[in-house]
Amino acid sequence: MKYLAGIIFILALAACSKKVELTPHEPSVTFNEPASVSVFSGGIVYLNLKTQANAGLFTLQVLHSLNGAAEVTDTTIMLTGTTFTWPFEYTVPDMATLPATIRLFFVVTDLKGKRASASFVISVINNPVDLGVLHNGVVYNVNATSKNAQWDLVNNAARQLADSLNYDLMNTTHSAAANMEKGWRSPATYSFTEFVKTSAVNFDNATSKELINVWNNPFYTHVARVKDIAVGDLLVVWLRNGAFGIIKITQIDDTTPGADNQFIRFVYKKQE
């Protein structure tokens, strides 16, 4: 009887069992940057946004709130699939009253109607210092014996090789090369100047806001060494003192015999 009862119990369990359906993960929305940033009016905020939902994505809604006011919908996009990435850009509107706070909201909904959200805080600060007057600069072949191979953008001065700290760019020609290398680097031994080559701004009318927006754009790579520059090239520069500037190449002589005769001339403007 005990044996028979055991069989009946096992059969009863089998009859009651069924396949367990795992609940899909809740939808999610994230970005790979810190959850806040400080920027001026007219500045551009770049976020790499990612959403996912095992049940399938349906919509992504972007809203903003200014200084704690009610949220305003900026855009709603329809989604498909289970993941979606978006190189999101937000241009801070021009504001007469500063400082201000803008909160962005990203709300994702999946095909089952479940929602998830994330927020990003923008502290709108005073406008940056604008660009000053035009300066002229020149660097010679690093092998020159009587000419400067370095330039100090901060103090607008030619520098010699012995002055190892007070410069922002130095020619990078190899000692055995007959012709000058058309490029330069900043010091690697301390907080150094960096460059971004761009065609997104006009040198004559460039503003510090434009330069900072270019600098913050993840499309560009910041480099401490610039190679193969040409006349007309524009370089946004972040100086060792924290100021931004822009350089325009105006003349290059890399072939005249004698290192003292080979040079790169440029003009530049900076925050000052």
**Can you tell me the mean pLDDT for 112-141?**
95
Edge-to-edge strands of the sheet including 83-91?
A: 28-31, 44-52, 83-91
At 20-36, the pLDDT tens digits run 444 456 799 998 777 78
At 114-124, the pLDDT tens digits run 999 999 999 99
Contact 8, 28 (CB under 8 A): no
Q: Angle at Cα 248 formed by Cα 244 and Cα 251, nearest 5°?
A: 150
Q: 28-125 has which fold?
A: Immunoglobulin-like (2.60.40)
Backbone angles phi, psi at 172, to 5 degrees: -120, 25
Q: Where in the chain is the domain with CATH 2.60.40.3880?
A: 28-125
Quick one: tokens of 30? 């994230």
Torsion on CA atoms 159, 161, 162, 167, rounded to nearest 10: 40
Residue 10 above 70 pLDDT? no
At 202-251, the pLDDT tens digits run 999 999 999 999 999 999 999 999 999 999 999 999 999 999 999 999 99
At 140-193, the pLDDT tens digits run 999 998 899 999 999 999 998 887 678 999 999 988 777 899 999 998 666 689
CA 2 to chain centre: 75
Q: Which residue has the higher pLDDT, 116 or 1?
A: 116
Check: pTM over 0.85? Answer yes or no: no
- pLDDT reported for residue 197: 96
Backbone angles phi, psi at 140, to 5 degrees: -100, 170
Residue 199 above 50 pLDDT? yes
